[in-house]
Amino acid sequence: MGGNPATTQEAPLPKRVQELALSGDEPPARFIRKDYINDDGAAIVDAVSYSVPVVDLRRLSSSSSSLNDKEEEMEKLRSALSSWGLFQVVNHGITSSFLDEIRDVTKGFFDLPMEEKQKYAREKQSSSTSSGEAYGTDDIISEDQIINWSDRMYLLILPRDQRRLEIWPEKPHAFRETLNEYVIKTSLVAELVLEAIANTLDLEENYFMNQLEDQTLAFARFNYYPPCSKPNLVYGLKPHTDGSMITIVLQDREVEGLQVLKDQKWIKIPINPHALLVNLGDQMEIMSNGIFKSSMHRVMTNSEKARISIAAFYSLPFENEVEPADALINGSRPRLYRRVKVKDYLEIFNQRYLQGKRAIDYVEA
């Protein structure tokens, strides 16, 4: 959901959106959606309610599940991956009380005084040697770029020995401990999900885990979407796919905002406070040779309530190459994507994300 290593020019960072929102004024021009006004001057109404797929991870992965239960759940997963590129996962093994803990420390961080949050801020935009970690807003690379109505804390969480703990917030006091536990728990979920996806593609169950070589690259993005006096004018996050293999998202427990593009309609993702949302990223689209597609999604704001979310992006290591699985290339389905180094792809991804473009087109065969 936006946020990968980038190559951008160095420039002063924009004012925090959380500060701008306090005035209650209309958002500045740099935040206004270009697609807001149509020819007759009316606002575009483009979000509809829908039922999104829900997958029971316990039925899918438990040794105690019957064969019929597993096959039924596997078919639900296959359908979700083929037609949506995302699904809500329940019975994932993480307690609702702990999900509330990670939400609470996230909200607690953004509720801190600005001078405290600024201790973890970047002084300049990302460079080719920086992942864009720390507190701030998305980089600005052009004068006509539309800026998201959101602030974020962005941290590398895996591998553990590459964490920059000096930019892991010390306040709220439970932030570091809670995040570390969240990484452990969601990593187990990611492993089970990747094994299940491999099974749906008739690959060896450990195919994707073997690609990771015990060197999973993962980032966490803590998002804060302040209220906006004119919510239909702005994006919390502009439409995009993710550059990851999979992304695990914990939504706000009360406030909606996430939407996915399906059949040329923007579908609201409903709130399920006990569920995790799994998005397929571009790396998975490449590795599946286009059988499964990364989901195009966006975040909208509202005029009354702030919204938070936590996205964990699971990726192949920087120095690995990503390409379609050999078993998924044949005479009836030729190779759709060429091989590319992950580090190179993620840099291209971030540049194109900031430009409002898809990166995966760059690696088509």
Domain parsing of the chain, residue ranges: 39-362
Predicted local confidence at residue 128, as pLDDT:
38
Given a cut of 80, is residue 96 above it in pLDDT? yes
In this structure, of 134-148, 169-183, 243-257, 330-344, the range with the lowest mean pLDDT score is 134-148
- In degrees and rounded to multiples of 5, residue 269 shows phi and psi of -85, 115
Given a cut of 80, is residue 123 above it in pLDDT? no
Within the chain, residue ranges assigned H as helices are: 17-21, 57-61, 67-83, 96-110, 114-117, 175-200, 207-212, 282-287, 342-354
Q: Whole-prediction pTM value?
A: 0.91
Predicted local confidence at residue 213, as pLDDT:
82
Given a cut of 60, is residue 254 above it in pLDDT? yes
Predicted local confidence at residue 26, as pLDDT:
87
Under a CB-based contact definition with an 8 Å cutoff, are residues 364 and 338 in contact?
A: yes
User: CA–CA separation, 245 vs 235, rounded Å?
Assistant: 24
Predicted local confidence at residue 11, as pLDDT:
44
Q: How is residue 200 written in tokens? A: 């749906």
More confident residue, 291 or 358: 291
Closest listed residue to residue 276, CA positions, set 151, 336, 192, 178: 192
The matching CATH number, chosen from 2.60.120.330, 2.60.40.10, 3.40.50.300, 2.40.170.20, for 39-362 is: 2.60.120.330
- As a whole number, the mean pLDDT across the chain is 89
Measuring CA to CA, how many Å separate 152 from each of 22, 25, 130, 173, 352?
17, 21, 16, 19, 19
The DSSP annotation for 212-249 comes to HTT--EEEEEEEEE---SSGGG--SEEEE--SSSEEEE
Predicted local confidence at residue 129, as pLDDT:
34
Q: What is the pLDDT of residues 308-334, one digit of tens each?
A: 999 999 999 999 999 999 999 999 999
Predicted local confidence at residue 143, as pLDDT:
78
Predicted local confidence at residue 12, as pLDDT:
47
Predicted local confidence at residue 125, as pLDDT:
53
Predicted local confidence at residue 115, as pLDDT:
93
- In degrees and rounded to multiples of 5, residue 335 shows phi and psi of -60, 125
- Is omega for the bond preceding 172 within 30 degrees of 0, making it cis? yes
Predicted local confidence at residue 6, as pLDDT:
39
User: CA–CA separation, 274 vs 276, rounded Å?
Assistant: 7
User: CA–CA separation, 201 vs 291, rounded Å?
Assistant: 8
Given a cut of 50, is residue 234 above it in pLDDT? yes
Output the CA torsion 92→98→101→102 (10° steps): -30
Task: Please give the average per-residue pLDDT across 114-141, as a whole number.
Answer: 76
Q: Which residue shows structure tokens 């951008």?
A: 8
Residue 37 pLDDT level (bands cut at 50, 70, 90):
low
Predicted local confidence at residue 352, as pLDDT:
85
Predicted local confidence at residue 36, as pLDDT:
62
User: CA–CA separation, 240 vs 310, rounded Å?
Assistant: 16
Task: Please give the average per-residue pLDDT across 138-145, as a whole number.
Answer: 78
Closest listed residue to residue 211, CA positions, set 223, 221, 198: 198
Under a CB-based contact definition with an 8 Å cutoff, are residues 189 and 89 in contact?
A: yes
Highest mean pLDDT among 128-137, 138-147, 153-162 belongs to: 153-162
Under a CB-based contact definition with an 8 Å cutoff, are residues 311 and 193 in contact?
A: no
Q: What is the pLDDT of residues 171-228, one digit of tens each?
A: 999 999 999 999 999 999 999 999 999 999 999 999 999 999 889 999 999 999 999 9
Count of alpha carbons within 13 angstroms of residue 259, beta-carbon side? 22
% pLDDT > 70, the chain: 90
Given a cut of 80, is residue 42 above it in pLDDT? no
Of how many residues is the chain composed?
365
Count of alpha carbons within 13 angstroms of residue 91, beta-carbon side? 11
Given a cut of 90, is residue 122 above it in pLDDT? no
Identify the helix (H) or strand (E) that includes residue 54: strand 54-56
Predicted local confidence at residue 316, as pLDDT:
97
